Structure 1
Amino acid sequence: MNAPDPNIHTKRAPIRQLDDAAANRIAAGEVVERPASAVKEMVENAIDAGATRIDVAYADGGKTLLRVTDDGFGIPEDQLVLALSRHATSKIDGSDLLNIHTFGFRGEALPSMGAVGRLTITSRAAGADTAAVISVNGGVINAVKPAALSRGTVVELRDLFHATPARLKFLRTDRSESGAIIDVIKRLAMAEPLIGFTLRDVTGGGEGRVVFQVPPQTGDLFDALHARLAKILGSDFAANALRIDAEREGLALTGFASLPTYSRGSATAQYMFVNGRPVRDKVFFGAIRGAYSDFLHRDRHPALALFLECDPTLVDVNVHPAKSEVRFRDPGVARGLIVSALRHALAEAGHRASTTVADATLGAFRPETRPEGAIYQMDRRPVQPSYTPMQQGFAEAPAPSARFEPAVEEVVEDQPLGAARAQVHENYVIAQTSDGIVIVDQHAAHERLVYERLKNQMAQNGVAAQALLIPEIVELAADDHGRVLNAAADLAGFGLVIEDFGGSAVCVRETPALLGEVNAVALVNDIADELADLNQTQSVKDKLEAILSRVACHGSIRSGRVMRAEEMNALLREMEATPHSGQCNHGRPTYVELKLHDIEKLFGRR
């Protein structure tokens, strides 16, 4: 037997009560992870103080200075010391910890900052004759003194983590920490469109450089939000965003979500808020993926900003110290509201496609900028022209693959997608509208139309199931077993019949006929994983819709098919009447619309 290690204590240490300074430093580890975390707490306090303008300044990525100035109602002089005490707050009375109607509920925020940095609060309460200032350094609170300030509050935090240098070593580069601060301010600015925000980098002193600024927006809430999102997410997003406004069982969802044809390669442009608080919640992500699953490939993601409002007792915001996660009392209601609201908005969009598609098309038409009168050889060297520039491009060309159709009297050009005028390369229908032209990919458009018909048929007639000759037995983990059985009724609606087999096993008796031969073990395990991760499953539905998509592809008008005028116009009219016809089954556009004024710009007429 080995001798005991003398460096290991064999006697249990006594339990001690930590002093306030140590407790505040521990709390700071949860609340103030990095400069951006401190900025979030400070700005949320300013919002709760009724501010209409908030100015944030930082230096060296927030490591040496963070300053938040607001025009809110301020802190009375006799409450400044209390504001730096743990568990002190004006935002709840302590009787109901779930009934939270404000942001900065955590009373540890300010004392935590003072425990790990040099914190100064200068404030003038509404109606007060003078301002006052209080400072705290490494947890030591100094006396309150008179100060000069016209209104509101200035909270300044210098030398973050100087009292805990080990924490300072784990911060990232100034550039990275600055980026995190900018992201926090943008998220808060999205949620508060009626408040003006300014963010400055004052590294080196002086007024610094404005890195982000938005004025208070005006108008009703939706107009203000749309204008604010246009400034933060860009005008392209605003032009291609659908308004979301829905309510269910005490939950209200508002915001804007992009058309499927305006998508991204990652989910970084998805912003979600609960009662004005920025969150990243798996209920949201799962619902968004489910809502767009029929319109986007799995590696494409919509851009959106969604705001869910509900009674505070229906959601727990204290799951995470930084409140970046929430827990709904009934996550199924929240998910159902998000899915239905997004799908309704997408259906209301009808055949609409992204305007950025037209912008890209016009960009492809624009000629290269080159010196006036210069003509280029294949090696790109300019040579003297032997004929005038107007003659360029009119050399003999191969026979065009285009068919022009005479105007059809009964088809008027004021229809949204116009009247068919030609077919180009046996794949593209050219239609004339009242104020421009439309170019339609006949195969992609018809594929979507056939797919929508097949889906409607499946919804009306149900999903045919095929009984397995020998039922498959699938062993699951205990938790997964319960989740799968709870979802059995929903799965049966898609032709997948599952029964309990005892223990932690389930028996698969029938599978959807459309899927053909199925690996039941893999399918059920996929479903179990999705249920565990998102509390809902898309696996069976996705697989069925993937097959319907392939059937639609084979059953649609092929590229190279010559179409008569009446066929082309019938295609345009059906597109106008069919939801989601603006994109194919993978989210690509089915048509491009070019406005006459944009075409005229190409030829210098405007």
Structure 2
Amino acid sequence: MSIRRLPEKLVNRIAAGEVVERPAAALKELVENALDAGATRVAVRIAEGGILRLEVDDDGCGMTASDMALALERHATSKLPTDAIEDVTTMGFRGEALPSIASVARLTLESRVAGADGWRRVIDNGSLIAEGPAALAKGTRVMVEDLFARVPARRKFLRSARSEYAACLDVVKRLAMARADVGFTVEHDGRRVLDVQGGQDRLSRVAALTQRDLAANSIGVDVERGEVRLGGVISLPTYNRGIADHQYLFVNGRPVKDRLLVGALRGAYADLLARDRHPVVALFLDLPTSEVDVNVHPAKTEVRFRDPQLVRGMIVGGLRRALDEQGFRSVQRPAEAALAAWQQEPAAPAPTSGFLFGQRSEPAVHLFGADVAPPPADAARVYDRMMPFAGASAPIAGRAEVAEAPPPVAADHPLGIARGQIANTYIVAEAEDGLVIVDQHAAHERLVLEQLRRGMAGQAVPSQGLLLPEVVEIDEPACDRLEAAAAQLSALGVEIERFGPAAVMVRATPAMLGAIDCHKLVTDIADDLAGYDAALGLSERLELVAATMACHGSVRAGRPLNVAEMNALLRQMEVTPHSGQCNHGRPTWVKLAMDDVEKLFGRK
């Protein structure tokens, strides 16, 4: 077959396949053009997910009639004043967006510069069908209709209108997040779905485009190394989502989906979140144009860094430092569904005799970990005489204890003072501004993990030698992995040595774990070393091993604690980094504000 020169229309359609694969891609190009034109307001209108119609209206600098004609030619752009493509600072620069879109849709372009008349050009699938004067304010209006109507092979691969609309909205949100100084509105099928005003600060803009309560559960990030700067907001580990759709990454103001940045983000939250949970973040990386190549992908969603290790280390270190500085902070409010579960009980009819608290036949109750016996029969008769109007007789619900020291003041402690224990699992504490409920197992698990991590950093964890060393039989490959990591495990307080081809001998365990099942501990450590052998280095695998060990040695749910133990746990949480979330990213404590408590009882 002989070589031939392709016709112009076919060339444009091939180019459109690189730039415009769906309505959201066309919308991205049009909004980026508006931002590069200096717009302070961008209005987007979408019909049927963008398949039927896309419209972008801006108040930018506008174009003259001759500029409009040139803009509809391939490889014509105002965004590259010189040939130095590596120094580009605009959002788009390929010069293919408008002609590519016009080759697979009906495109109407209207524009006016200040002090001149507006002009209008209509291109239908590559052919100019109309042009003439147009009435509009300074700026540009672009309308794209019937995308891929004459390219059925492309049209049939589009998703439903709902899916295409979601992709369009995500594109606008990312661009709006990158430019908090610009106002954005989005209408879909005549209904306004997004309206953000220009001139917002970064945190307010991110919260407005994600979730309103992010502002109360986020951390600011501001790191600078030489000419590279990292800023933005990240969520507390306990404020997370099941999918990574709320992770917004920007390089020099351009939204990207780069694997290096995503990997660094995952590394920063490595031991703070479960593997199936994801933080909410908006990170803005600014660096000299000579240090990054933005022309790697036709849609410019991927970048290549000159020094990727510097960028990764900056993200991981900067985020970990910001998270470490938050100490025991956690999500401050319980879930709305949990709060709604509290109900006011209807008034009960007046009873005739007995105690206030319930039936006398109830078993003993637990108070601060101690059993309290039901009252004797003569005490019941006394209460019967004193409370003839009360309900059925019941045991006394608590007893006074002799104070050995002045009671602590709740105002002196952020997590308050322990007042009791529920179901031998949750500690109830009174703080100055509300009621604090602590999951004792999750909280202690995090405290143990942080102690183990300090051991990995050089402060050896105290170990406790076994009176009789215990032999654990496991398969030979697991023994090989344990033997290779024996020196590092020793820093964590686990002393093991090889005992034949398919067994290891445990001589000591971390003292903080107390009496534990050595066989289960060693087996779990071997499983962790195997499960991440290929993907992670030894130090990263040991982080996961430490999390497993912490779970073995933490205070279990169902264990009674006395008041001193509960307060000791609260005080240790207040001075331990990341104690606001357990090793799986769930909160270790929640606070019910006094206003919420008073609302439950109708006081407000």
Q: How far has the Cα of 1:525 moved from its partner?
A: 10
Structure 2 partner of 1:214: 196
Structure 2 partner of 1:225: 202
Structure 2 partner of 1:95: 83
Q: Contact between 1:272 and 1:280, CA under 8 Å: does it hold in 2? A: yes
Counterpart residue identity of residue 74, structure 1:
G
Call closer, same or farther: CA 1:85–1:570 in 2, change over 3 Å. same
Call closer, same or farther: CA 1:463–1:320 in 2, change over 3 Å. farther
Q: How many residues align?
A: 519
Q: How far has the Cα of 1:446 moved from its partner?
A: 2.1
Structure 1 partner of 2:384: none
Q: How far has the Cα of 1:169 moved from its partner?
A: 2.1
Q: How far has the Cα of 1:447 moved from its partner?
A: 2.2
Counterpart residue identity of residue 260, structure 1:
P
Match of 1:322 among 299, 310, 315: 299
Distance in 2 between the 1:557 and 1:62 partners?
A: 55
Call closer, same or farther: CA 1:523–1:272 in 2, change over 3 Å. same
Structure 1 partner of 2:497: none
| CA RMSD in angstroms, aligned pairs only | 3.3
Q: How far has the Cα of 1:394 moved from its partner?
A: 5.7
Q: TM-score, normalised by structure 1?
A: 0.78
Aligned: 1:55 with 2:43: yes
Distance in 2 between the 1:209 and 1:559 partners?
A: 50
Match of 1:230, SS state, is helix
CA deviations on 1:59-106 (whole Å, 9 max, x unpaired) are 222222211000111112331111111111111134211111011212
Q: Contact between 1:236 and 1:356, CA under 8 Å: does it hold in 2? A: no
Once the two structures are overlaid, the 10-residue window that deviates more, 289-298 or 233-242, is 233-242
Structure 2 partner of 1:485: none
Gaps of 5+ in 2: 369-397, 463-475, 478-484, 491-507, 510-520
Counterpart residue identity of residue 176, structure 2:
A
Match of 1:588, SS state, is coil
Structure 2 partner of 1:254: 231
Once the two structures are overlaid, the 10-residue window that deviates more, 116-125 or 401-410, is 401-410
Distance in 1 between the 2:357 and 2:524 partners?
A: 58
Distance in 2 between the 1:270 and 1:244 partners?
A: 15
Match of 1:271, SS state, is strand
Match of 2:140 among 130, 153, 161: 153
Match of 2:284 among 297, 307, 311: 307
Aligned: 1:168 with 2:166: no
CA deviations on 1:486-526 (whole Å, 9 max, x unpaired) are xxxxx999689xxxxxxxxxxxxxxxx99969999997995
Match of 2:85, SS state, is coil
After TM superposition, the structure 1 = structure 2 runs for residues 514-533 of structure 1, keeping only pairs within 5 Å, are 530=535
Aligned: 1:401 with 2:366: yes
Q: How far has the Cα of 1:30 moved from its partner?
A: 0.5
Aligned: 1:82 with 2:79: no
Q: Contact between 2:426 and 2:440, CA under 8 Å: does it hold in 1? A: yes
Match of 1:78, SS state, is helix
Call closer, same or farther: CA 1:362–1:523 in 2, change over 3 Å. closer
Distance in 2 between the 1:128 and 1:172 partners?
A: 43
Q: Contact between 1:429 and 1:439, CA under 8 Å: does it hold in 2? A: yes
Q: How far has the Cα of 1:364 moved from its partner?
A: 3.0
Distance in 2 between the 1:563 and 1:426 partners?
A: 7
Q: How far has the Cα of 1:148 moved from its partner?
A: 0.9
Distance in 2 between the 1:604 and 1:525 partners?
A: 53
Match of 1:123, SS state, is strand
Distance in 2 between the 1:312 and 1:83 partners?
A: 25
Q: How far has the Cα of 1:360 moved from its partner?
A: 4.9
Q: Kindly, what percent of the aligned residue pairs are identical?
A: 50
Match of 1:54, SS state, is strand
Aligned: 1:333 with 2:310: yes
Structure 1 partner of 2:496: none
Q: How far has the Cα of 1:358 moved from its partner?
A: 5.7
Call closer, same or farther: CA 1:432–1:526 in 2, change over 3 Å. closer
Distance in 1 between the 2:59 and 2:116 partners?
A: 16
Match of 1:239, SS state, is helix
Q: How far has the Cα of 1:107 moved from its partner?
A: 0.2
Match of 1:357, SS state, is coil
Structure 2 partner of 1:503: none
Structure 1 partner of 2:498: none
CA deviations on 1:404-440 (whole Å, 9 max, x unpaired) are 7778636321221112233334333222211112122
Match of 1:456, SS state, is helix
Structure 2 partner of 1:433: 431
Match of 2:599, SS state, is helix
Match of 2:9, SS state, is helix
Counterpart residue identity of residue 248, structure 2:
Y
Q: Contact between 2:451 and 2:461, CA under 8 Å: does it hold in 1? A: no
Match of 1:365, SS state, is coil
Q: How far has the Cα of 1:176 moved from its partner?
A: 1.9
Distance in 2 between the 1:417 and 1:90 partners?
A: 59
Once the two structures are overlaid, the 10-residue window that deviates more, 298-307 or 103-112, is 298-307
Call closer, same or farther: CA 1:527–1:556 in 2, change over 3 Å. closer
Match of 1:40 among 28, 39, 47: 28
Q: Contact between 1:358 and 1:594, CA under 8 Å: does it hold in 2? A: no
Q: Contact between 1:73 and 1:152, CA under 8 Å: does it hold in 2? A: yes
After TM superposition, the structure 1 = structure 2 runs for residues 272-291 of structure 1, keeping only pairs within 5 Å, are 272-291=249-268
Distance in 1 between the 2:340 and 2:598 partners?
A: 14
Q: Contact between 1:462 and 1:493, CA under 8 Å: does it hold in 2? A: no
Q: How far has the Cα of 1:575 moved from its partner?
A: 1.0
Q: Contact between 2:455 and 2:461, CA under 8 Å: does it hold in 1? A: no
Match of 2:549 among 543, 548, 551: 551
Match of 2:94 among 98, 106, 111: 106
Structure 2 partner of 1:458: 456
Q: How far has the Cα of 1:458 moved from its partner?
A: 1.5
CA deviations on 1:148-198 (whole Å, 9 max, x unpaired) are 112111011122223433322222222222221112112212212221211
Distance in 2 between the 1:19 and 1:101 partners?
A: 33
Distance in 1 between the 2:528 and 2:416 partners?
A: 48
Counterpart residue identity of residue 183, structure 1:
D
Q: How far has the Cα of 1:41 moved from its partner?
A: 0.3
Call closer, same or farther: CA 1:307–1:13 in 2, change over 3 Å. same
Counterpart residue identity of residue 268, structure 2:
A
Aligned: 1:263 with 2:261: no
Call closer, same or farther: CA 1:526–1:439 in 2, change over 3 Å. closer
Structure 1 partner of 2:408: 411
Gaps of 5+ in 1: 1-11, 203-207, 219-223, 374-384, 465-470, 473-490, 497-512, 531-536
Match of 1:25, SS state, is helix
After TM superposition, the structure 1 = structure 2 runs for residues 320-399 of structure 1, keeping only pairs within 5 Å, are 320-357=297-334, 359-367=336-344, 395-396=358-359, 399=364
Q: How far has the Cα of 1:311 moved from its partner?
A: 1.6
After TM superposition, the structure 1 = structure 2 runs for residues 458-497 of structure 1, keeping only pairs within 5 Å, are 458-461=456-459
Distance in 1 between the 2:245 and 2:148 partners?
A: 29
CA deviations on 1:532-569 (whole Å, 9 max, x unpaired) are xxxxx3x5334312332233333333444444433332
Q: TM-score, normalised by structure 2?
A: 0.78
Once the two structures are overlaid, the 10-residue window that deviates more, 70-79 or 513-522, is 513-522
Match of 1:64 among 39, 49, 52: 52
Counterpart residue identity of residue 211, structure 1:
V
Q: How far has the Cα of 1:111 moved from its partner?
A: 0.8
Structure 1 partner of 2:128: 141
Q: Contact between 2:454 and 2:460, CA under 8 Å: does it hold in 1? A: no
Call closer, same or farther: CA 1:306–1:492 in 2, change over 3 Å. farther
Call closer, same or farther: CA 1:358–1:86 in 2, change over 3 Å. closer
